[in-house]
Amino acid sequence: MNMREIPVKKVGRAAVVTSLGFLIAILGNLFIPQVAELKIEQYQWGPFLFDLNSFYRTVLGGIILIYLIAGVLAVWKPERRPKFVKQQWFRFAMGIVLLAYDIAGTKLRITPQPFFPGPAEVLKTFMDDGPYLMQNTLYSLRLFAVGFGIGIVLGLVTGVIIGWFPKAYYWLYPVIRITGVIPAVAWMPFALTIFPNAFSSAVFLMAICSWFPIASQTAFGIQTTEKSQFEAARTLGAKNSYLVFHVAIPHAMPQIFNGIQSACGNSFTFLVIAEMMGQPGGLGYYINISKIWAIYGQVFAAIVVMAILFSVIIAVLNEIKAYVLRWQKGTFV
């Protein structure tokens, strides 16, 4: 559907449909009686007093507000309209699913306990254990940034060398192919032996699992650059360094970003594994400790934070990709 074909009234209707789903979830939590026994504590946040249900309703109200703001932005920016209108019924269904989960997990508690607490109990973690959860989130971000960042640099350098120099491709590409298919977890015993602490060993392993897709995609992008582009640049007096940085690498940018996005998923997965297998902090560590004490509300809260964190990282990468490849706008979907 062309974005110019979507009138403002459809955007408004989509905002209403979206809000209605979460509003139903709020009303369900407010008016459906609490049948199962559940200890409901009061929490003081400044001048505001919350219990787990009122905090849950407040969060749902915040979600409605976010989507209403997104609807206003879609009115101002027509290119946002197709996605906002298309996903309206999915967002409505999210509200209904939350209502069903709230009834089953909180109001009636018919879900297996303590393994599947209701959504209000999951959000209660942010009131009970918010600072410690934030501390572990920052640890995960630091570990991810260092490991993934090193993997990007190594992957780009290796990919450019392999893609540009045939002899380097002959000697190095088989090594990449062999090491790339080995799961990073398999290298963990060696990394723990070689490196002085768990943090540096996890950084090394995250760099390894990021290195392969970025290096291989970068090399492929450089090798598939059309010879006519190099010949045209040489005709204008370009040297090899110019050909690499102003012809080959720009041509390989779509492949480079494909490799980076693939490596991002690999790195985030290994991040959680590493934190669950020996890191002194992080979301994986937090999940492990919560599981030992059978506090599964905290486990789900950490999973929610992971989902939000990874979504933000992917969104940032997509924005960077859209900016760098803005010359391709309208060429690729």
Distances 159 to 21, 59, 170, 211, 300 between C-alpha atoms, Å? 48, 45, 13, 9, 39
Nearest to 176 by CA among 155, 197, 196: 155
Q: Using CB atoms within 10 Å of the CB of residue 162, give its burial: 0 to 12 exposed, 13 to 18 middle, 19+ buried.
A: buried
pLDDT classification of 332: cutoffs 50, 70, 90: very low
What is the architecture of the domain spanning 131-328? Orthogonal Bundle (1.10)
pLDDT classification of 330: cutoffs 50, 70, 90: low
**Position 22 pLDDT exceeds 60:** yes
pLDDT classification of 220: cutoffs 50, 70, 90: very high
| Residue % of the chain over a pLDDT of 70 | 97
pLDDT by residue (tens digit) across 31-86?
999 998 888 888 887 788 888 899 999 999 999 999 999 999 999 988 889 999 99
Mean pLDDT of the chain: 91
Instruction: For residues 35 and 109, give the distance between their C-alpha atoms in angstroms, rounded to a whole number.
Output: 8
The pLDDT of residue 170 is: 93
The pLDDT of residue 4 is: 52
The pLDDT of residue 41 is: 81
Give CA 203 to chain center in angstroms: 18
Instruction: For residues 88 and 86, give the distance between their C-alpha atoms in angstroms, rounded to a whole number.
Output: 6
For the residues of 145-161, what is the DSSP string, one character each? Answer: HHHHHHHHHHHHHHHHH
What is the average per-residue pLDDT within 279-292?
93
- Please say whether the dihedral angle defined by the alpha carbons of residues 292, 295, 296 and 302, taken in this order, is positive or negative: negative
Please give the model's pTM, rounded to 2 decimal places: 0.87
Please give the DSSP secondary-structure letter assigned to residue 293. Answer: T
The pLDDT of residue 187 is: 86
Nearest to 114 by CA among 57, 39, 51: 39
Contact 310, 316 (CB under 8 A): no
Residue predicted with more confidence, 39 or 121 = 121
Please give the DSSP secondary-structure letter assigned to residue 185. Answer: G
Residue predicted with more confidence, 38 or 131 = 131
Contacts of 164-170 spanning 24+ positions with Cβ under 8 A: 164/222, 164/244, 164/248, 169/219, 169/223
Look up residue 8 and give its two tokens: 């403002």
**Position 3 pLDDT exceeds 90:** no
Give the start-to-end residue ranges of the domains of the chain.
3-113, 131-328
